[in-house]
Amino acid sequence: MGAAELFIDLDAVAANWRALDAMSADHVETAAVVKADAYGLDVTRVARRLTAHGVRSFFVALAGEGVALRHVVDDGADIYVFSGHMAGDGDALHSADLIPMLNSPEQVARHFSETPGHAFGVQLDTGMNRLGMEPNDWAALRGDLMAAGPRLVISHLACADTPDHPMNHQQLRAFIEMTEGVARRSLAATGGLLLGPEYHFELVRPGIGLYGGLPFTEATPVVRLSVPVVQTRSVRPFETVGYGNAWEADIERQIATISAGYADGLIRSMGQGAQIYAGDVACPVVGRVSMDLITVDVTHLDEVPDTLDVLGTHQSVDDLAACAGTIGYEILTSLGHRYARRYEGA
């Protein structure tokens, strides 16, 4: 029996981008966030597919990611680096024609000293207190930066996944005040895009929504994870399963052991309460998730299949994440390298 198989539908990624693109006006560019190896799904394949659909702007977290992406997309594509111009990034930014989003006065000084005349953008802090120039620093440097011509000025919403949260409008108002007169701006990732046109400005930059995750509830599912059954056994009443005797049988039950675990990104905290699927039928996880194995109650099945589905049409990364007390981003980006990956869509 082979390895667990992770099916990745590139057509679905493209369909999600088209659906998100259709939500904004014609003058608004829809970019794509492909950091962390396209959220763990292979930036080479994802970026090629999106380029074929007309995506011309991409966002990555680090300059090294941008260098790898430049080998995939053509020279005319814009690649923005969220972390800005870090120490030692100058050669990479220059050789791969990357656009750092400058986050601080120190980065501004470094960029203009090490790579004079090179393209740049600016990230502003509108209240998230994570990355971006503080209002006072922006006010002091704005004149010089605008004279040099930033390609883009952005900020990031802290609470976009909660549409009614007052922080959204607070940050929108701050962004408008800080960027009055700036020609090209971006505030919205997936959640911000869904908040409506007032958040769109000149560019939107969806990430998780491309890959089938919340808050884009209408997304086409992108991933399916099918895991082989290693063994099925009968467990008598009062016998226990797994580490720590964490689960005890109430009646005689059939327990299937499948070959994936927390080393494969199926994090330990999902444990009991999670479901694994045999076709349309849900089968509860029992006992603790271990490094390479998960035990599943299949007593109610007429026949135990060779494989069970962890992710698919019946269970999204967000559904699985809810069982683990986390978010779909963590599940998606944690899916391991032991899976045999099967890509669908050219």
**Is 35 considered catalytic here?**
yes
Which of 211, 243, 262, 339 is the catalytic position? Answer: 243
Q: State the burial class of residue 133 (Cβ atoms within 10 Å of its Cβ: 0-12, 13-18, 19+).
A: buried
Residue 67 CB partners (closer than 8 Å, separation 6+): 92, 95, 96, 98
- H or E stretch covering 100: strand 99-102
**Beta bridge pairs of residue 296:** 256, 285
Q: What is the CA radius of gyration of the chain?
A: 23
On whether the CB atoms of residues 191 and 171 are closer than 8 A, the answer is no
Residue 200 CB partners (closer than 8 Å, separation 6+): 24, 25, 28, 187, 188, 193
Could you tell me how many residues make up the chain? Answer: 346
Structure tokens of 308? Answer: 């069970």
**Beta bridge pairs of residue 78:** 57
Which of 35, 211, 262, 339 is the catalytic position? Answer: 35
On whether the CB atoms of residues 37 and 211 are closer than 8 A, the answer is no
Give catalytic residues, as residue numbers: 35, 243
